[in-house]
Structure 1
Amino acid sequence: MHGVTSDDLAAAAPPAAGPDRVLLEEIERYYDAVPRAAARVEDFGPLSLFVREGAGWPYYARPAPGHRGPAATAEDVRRVLARQRELGLPEAFEWVAEHDPLLRAAVEEAGLAVHEHPLLVLGPQDGPGGPGGASGAPDGATVRVLPADDPAIARAVAVPHLAFGEPGTGVGSAGVEELAAKAKELESDGTAARLSGRIASGHTVLAAAFEDGTPLCAGQHNPVGPVTEVAGVGTLPSARRRGLGQAVTAALVAHARANGVRTVFLSAADEDVARIYRRAGFRPFATALIAEPAEPR
């Protein structure tokens, strides 16, 4: 799971009923499968700890797939936390509340703070998604999917980094100068090259909205078989509130559908951010939970 931002707001939709269990299990299998491509898995009974092999963003712990024994306890959580500290990893857990409703109490008893994020979905029955896509880009902008050798990859991946550095949906300060500096940093540390490799292997699809050759919004989807997650959609803070986030999201959904993906989902930072995805056709489905150490008082 990854956090997302938007550059637009829309009217709220009514909450969904209890989630479809078949679709919930499909998403759960996806969450377990994604980190296995770049991590080893350490078994802690009802919990699995993913430990990244090589460079890249570190992973987290989450419920073990298919576990049939007792639910995880606070002591199970503490064992994982001790291992994360031993390995120098972030003390982090991620899961879906509706799939593992008892885990929250154990995680909180172990001393972690739990943050809720709306999980939205476009399932097989939901059609292609809402309006938008490349043809729905705002005046003066174009949206395209980037190939692995595109020279704009470093700048495109830099956009969400800057967006998440200024969270929220209001217009911010970071602009073209900051974009150039962040792109240079992501080239130097290998982030851009790693993303190019994932694009080449088919693990990631990157789309961006451009104006005068400059990426102003970017995001990705990461397919595993018939399921994909839209992640990291962010708009350059100085370019927010122009509909760029919706256009990029729609382009990612269109690409996924055109390539045989049956279920597209995402988790939003909060309800304000989720509104943009409702406009793109996503419906509220469940609650993604992220646990981390509470901030010191």
Structure 2
Amino acid sequence: MDTDVQSFAVANLRRRPVVVETAGFVVGFDPGTTSPYINYATPLPGAEPTAADVATLVAAFRDRGLKPRLEFAPDAAPAVEPALREAGFTREAVHEYLLCTPATLAVPQPGPGRPIVEIPSTDEDFTAIDEALAEAFAGEFPASAEGAARLRRTHETGGAVRFVRSPDGRCAGGAMTSAPAVGTSELAGVGTRPDFRGQGVAAAVTAALAEAMFAGGAASVWLEYSGEGSRRVYERVGFRPHGTRLYVSLADPA
């Protein structure tokens, strides 16, 4: 399954507004932001890059004033990390990912007091979701017009966005999934504003998004988790451990 997840990563980056393909790598850029979490590269499954290939990859970032950074499933391209390390890349993190299928999905049953999941439709909805996720992640991804636009673009290009409305009419929490590729889809950005945590918001939007992808024909949905608390939430709705993803980057030259 690592190969499927890595093939998805390649296909998903090819959807970015600007795509650069170098020997063994795909780089996705979004001119609307300089964030290294949005502008990054991933290797083709089975890639065996040379030092020259890595240098070409680095130049694609440096020419744009961006930090060279990659995200990938290492088991799908075992030769890549050693080649990157030789060029000075260092590990940022290794994250386990969880996978859900139609057979394992457990959608929370509706009832009194249970969160009601909605589909955003207005600019105000997308802005409120972006602001709620910024608050949920403590400003790691600041709210912006570009962030709201990316959520709408995801919603309108085969992915999905779901949220739970807060009593003030805005957003208590939400998440999104990318459009499926090679039979799978990534669920990301699950966040709940602090005042609404512990009320089932994350579980409700996660299950609703997985359900939406399966209804559209995806065979699986995968995500990464940030801690044991979130892992338990995802496991309750049917996600199971399946592999790891590696994050590496190259520091600015001295």
Q: TM-score range by the shorter chain?
A: 0.7 to 0.9
Residue-by-residue CA offset, 1:158-216 (whole Å, 9 max, x unaligned)? 2122222268xxxxxxxxxxxxxx7xx63xx34323432442x3333111112322311
Question: Aligned in 2, Cα 1:223/1:283: closer, same or farther, shift over 3 Å?
Answer: same
Asked whether 1:55 is paired with 2:32, we answer yes
Identity of aligned residues (%): 27
Structure 2 SS opposite 1:37: coil
Pick from 205, 222, 234: which aligns with 2:191? 234
Asked whether 1:218 is paired with 2:209, we answer no
Instruction: Tell me if structure 1 keeps the 8 A contact 2:104–2:239.
Output: no
Residue 98 of structure 1 corresponds to 75
Instruction: Tell me if structure 1 keeps the 8 A contact 2:154–2:161.
Output: no
Pick from 17, 32, 57: which aligns with 1:80? 57
Pick from 243, 251, 255: which aligns with 2:212? 255
In structure 1, C-alpha distance between the alignment counterparts of 2:58 and 2:177, rounded to whole Å: 30
Question: Aligned in 2, Cα 1:113/1:163: closer, same or farther, shift over 3 Å?
Answer: farther
**Following TM superposition, by how much is the alpha carbon of 1:253 offset from its aligned partner in structure 2, in angstroms?**
1.2
Structure 1 SS opposite 2:131: helix
Pick from 86, 90, 105: which aligns with 1:113? 90
**Following TM superposition, by how much is the alpha carbon of 1:281 offset from its aligned partner in structure 2, in angstroms?**
0.7
Unaligned ranges ≥5, structure 1: 1-22, 168-181
Asked whether 1:160 is paired with 2:117, we answer no
**Following TM superposition, by how much is the alpha carbon of 1:74 offset from its aligned partner in structure 2, in angstroms?**
5.3
Q: Which amino acid aligns with 1:244?
A: V
Question: Aligned in 2, Cα 1:66/1:289: closer, same or farther, shift over 3 Å?
Answer: closer
Instruction: Tell me if structure 1 keeps the 8 A contact 2:98–2:242.
Output: yes
Q: Which amino acid aligns with 1:291?
A: V
Pick from 162, 186, 192: which aligns with 1:207? 162
Asked whether 1:122 is paired with 2:97, we answer no
Structure 2 SS opposite 1:274: helix
**How high is the TM-score relative to the length of structure 2?**
0.82
Question: Aligned in 2, Cα 1:260/1:275: closer, same or farther, shift over 3 Å?
Answer: same
Question: Aligned in 2, Cα 1:140/1:246: closer, same or farther, shift over 3 Å?
Answer: closer
Higher relative contact order (Cα pairs below 8 Å, separated by 6+ residues): 1
Pick from 241, 246, 249: which aligns with 1:284? 241
Asked whether 1:139 is paired with 2:95, we answer no
**Following TM superposition, by how much is the alpha carbon of 1:150 offset from its aligned partner in structure 2, in angstroms?**
5.9
**271-280 or 255-264, which moves further after superposition?**
271-280
